[in-house]
Amino acid sequence: MAFGRSRRTKPPVEPVTLKILVAGGFGVGKTTMVGAVSEIRPLRTEESLSEAGRPVDDLQGVETKTTTTVAMDFGRITLREDLVLYLFGTPGQDRFWFLWDELAQGALGAVVLADTRRLEDCFAAVDYFERRGIPFTIAVNCFEGADRFPTETVRAALDLDDEVPLLMCDARDRESVKNVLVSVVEHAMILAGRERQPATM
């Protein structure tokens, strides 16, 4: 029998799990963003674009796109030992928006991915989260060849409140996407803390 002080092992940490939505227009990079950071093989519900969908799918600016998300993308990332994010990518086309209410249930916050070449495509997502009081961060996906604009210009074009975070990102880059996700969590926590504060007389 060995004498002396026994080493105490730290009990395993039970992580907090949070749900984050990744939304935006058709072809803006939502599937790419989820795949860039997911530590598990992402669940994807992509189908090939069909001739039947051409009259309703606006491919201007994304002419090379051959598939579309028809339900959701799903991934998971551990930000810290005690914090795990579950990522749900929403479908971008109008005809699949009936799924958004289901996906939004229990979400802490959202990323609205934007493309400056088709900025109007993210208006609906911004409106959706504003109406439902879901905290969100705007992430401008910096596509190659796309014009770059100052954040103040993009903020004005989207008519955003000053407190809504707006970041430039590369949806293909893990560290860039992690910065966006951290921004969403921090923004949501600040708003939640504000709501918990007692009203002053």
Q: Per the domain annotation, does 9 fall within a domain?
A: no
Tell me the residue range of the domain where 145 lies.
16-196
Confidence (pLDDT) at 147: 82
- The CATH number for 139's domain is 3.40.50.300
Confidence (pLDDT) at 26: 85
- Which pTM value belongs to this model? 0.79
Please name every residue paired with 77 in a beta bridge, in sequence order, or none if there are none.
85
Structure tokens at 15: 């992580």
Average pLDDT, 10 consecutive residues per value, the chain (201 residues)? 59 87 92 95 64 49 49 88 94 70 94 94 94 97 87 95 96 97 97 78 52
Q: Per the domain annotation, does 10 fall within a domain?
A: no
Looking at the 3D structure of the chain, how many domains does it have? 1
Confidence (pLDDT) at 197: 72
Confidence (pLDDT) at 111: 98
Q: Per the domain annotation, does 201 fall within a domain?
A: no
Q: Per the domain annotation, does 1 fall within a domain?
A: no
- Please classify residue 77 by burial: count the beta carbons closer than 10 Å to its beta carbon, then call 0-12 exposed, 13-18 middle and 19+ buried: buried
Q: Per the domain annotation, does 11 fall within a domain?
A: no
Q: Per the domain annotation, does 3 fall within a domain?
A: no
Q: Per the domain annotation, does 85 fall within a domain?
A: yes
Confidence (pLDDT) at 148: 87
pLDDT tens track for 13-59: 788 999 999 999 888 999 999 999 999 998 876 545 445 444 444 54
Q: Per the domain annotation, does 112 fall within a domain?
A: yes
